[in-house]
Structure 1
Amino acid sequence: MGVIKKIFNKSRPSNEKDGIFFDEMKKLLGFKPIALSHYRRAFTHRSSNKTDAQGNPINYERLEFLGDAMLGSVIAAHLFTEAPTGDEGYLTKMRSKIVSREHLNELGRDLDLISWVESNVAPQHFGENIHGNLFEAFIGAIYLDRGFTYCEKFIHKKVIGPYVDIARLEGKVISYKSLLIEWCQKEKKKFHFEVYEDNGVEGQKYFGVRLKIDGNVIAKARATSKKKSEEKASQRAYFALQEKINIK
């Protein structure tokens, strides 16, 4: 029995630390990883300042690029098959909704990928997008470790299966700001985002914004970046003007 057990466990690293990491990655993946180095890189933050023998940085940023490409190709193929009447513009818009930064962040949080990050920065100082960045890097690591077939199966299991409902996605708004600008241009309305610094009492820099349409303030918002504050104000304006805006 001992010999048989050893044979079946031979793919698991003998080093205890690597063995634990192997077991956890196997749970996340649903199959056995082969080269753990790819997954370790996928969770290495640039603040760790790691380099290889040639002095090249070791972190997840290059894997993000690869994972993004894998996600895009698998999802594009799925949409091409499942939406046979959709033209290029429709397919592009639908793909953008699936791989939006918001959705990727949700996927990364669901898998709790941030718990594996090696970094010299405290977790509370990470930006919100680290969840999506890690998810893309993880996809890139799968591709390097097991190839396209395993990568495609993982994306279908973790992304397409539980999250991609074409009928629901058709009505999903990616950017309220883009939607509002499109509506204003269509209706010949003048719009303006009046942005100002709003530091408040929190000790952190905030940006306030007043969204004006035809000279009238329609919505106000504040957030930690200009982009977020404009999007938040646009969302509030959308709900205030919802009956007038025709979503297409």
Structure 2
Amino acid sequence: MGFFFFKRFSEEDKKLLKNLKLILDFKPKILELYKVVFTHASVGRNTKNNERLEFVGDSVMGLIITDILYNKFPKADEGRLSILRASIVSRQSLNVLGENLGLDQLVDYKNTSGNEIKNLSGNALEAMVGAIYFDRGYHSAKKFVEKLVYENFDLEKLLEQNKDYKSKLLQLIQKFKLNITFNTYENMESNEKNQHFLCELCLDDRFLAEGKAWTKKEAEQKASKQALKKLSHLRLN
């Protein structure tokens, strides 16, 4: 005769499971992982916090979104896809997504600064993706992220908006107070095989990027696109 043992959940565990049921479309296998998701580092040194899961979730989420964009936009080049991905995983976007899921209401924290409080939901979201990855694998993490992306972003519209590389570069210049100069002039050596306008961008008087095109506007867009790729470590949000 076999014996069946049922795990008894505490009232706190039951409450967590109830909240997770509203967020996930599956029942967690390793509940302890999700407890860590909602534990901020400010709670105490001797308590597991969500920073390591956040680290993993950041990478997993980036890979999943790369996968989504690569397959959805087969004709988009690497530069446009990189900028589109950056706008989706920006700190501001992650915070909004986390708040939409109600994650900020579930995080346990103490005596944190204004910026840390503002980013609680976004950090918890990345930690959640990390927890799902360890608990149920990449496929489940991908389903979770895909649902978030398609329910909250109009990807076609975002891709069109991200065509204006010069505007994005100007925003970056303003935010980080960069000393970038645009030098656009007619290419005197141009012929039928060469582009007519040349735009050179310099950062602190050092060459940063260039773009060649038949129009001044397009040359500036091409140069701005190359500059954004080189400055991809800087985020607008």
**Smaller-chain TM-score bracket:** 0.5 to 0.7
Helix, strand or coil for the counterpart of 1:127? helix
Aligned to 1:24: 19
Q: Report sequence identity in percent.
A: 33
Helix, strand or coil for the counterpart of 1:119? coil
Structure 1 segment 148-159 matched on structure 2, within 5 A = 148-158=138-148
Runs (5+) with no aligned partner, structure 2: 185-219, 226-237
Partner AA of 1:186 in structure 2: F
Distance 1:174 1:98 in 2: 15
Distance 1:123 1:23 in 2: 29
For the 8 Å contact 1:100–1:174, the answer to whether it is kept is no
For the 8 Å contact 1:97–1:174, the answer to whether it is kept is no
Distance 1:106 1:140 in 2: 18
Deviation at 1:125, TM superposition (A): 7.6
TM-score normalized by structure 1?
A: 0.62
Alignment: residue pair count: 177
Partner AA of 2:19 in structure 1: E
Partner AA of 2:28 in structure 1: P
For the 8 Å contact 1:34–1:146, the answer to whether it is kept is yes
1:103 pairs with 2:93: yes
Structure 1 segment 1-248 matched on structure 2, within 5 A = 13-51=8-46, 58-121=48-111, 126-158=116-148, 160-170=149-159, 171=161, 177-178=171-172, 185-186=181-182
For the 8 Å contact 2:42–2:112, the answer to whether it is kept is no
CA RMSD after TM alignment: 3.0
Distance 2:80 2:178 in 1: 16
Deviation at 1:113, TM superposition (A): 0.7
Runs (5+) with no aligned partner, structure 1: 1-6, 52-56, 189-244
Distance 1:125 1:94 in 2: 25
| Cα shift readout 1:129-184 (whole Å, capped 9, x = no counterpart) | 222111111111111111111111111112x2112323221315767631657996
Deviation at 1:187, TM superposition (A): 5.4
Deviation at 1:122, TM superposition (A): 6.4
Higher normalized contact order (CA 8 Å, seq sep 6+, divided by chain length): 2
TM-score normalized by structure 2?
A: 0.65
Helix, strand or coil for the counterpart of 2:181? helix
With over 3 angstroms needed to count, the CA separation of the structure-2 counterparts of 1:65 and 1:122, relative to structure 1, is closer
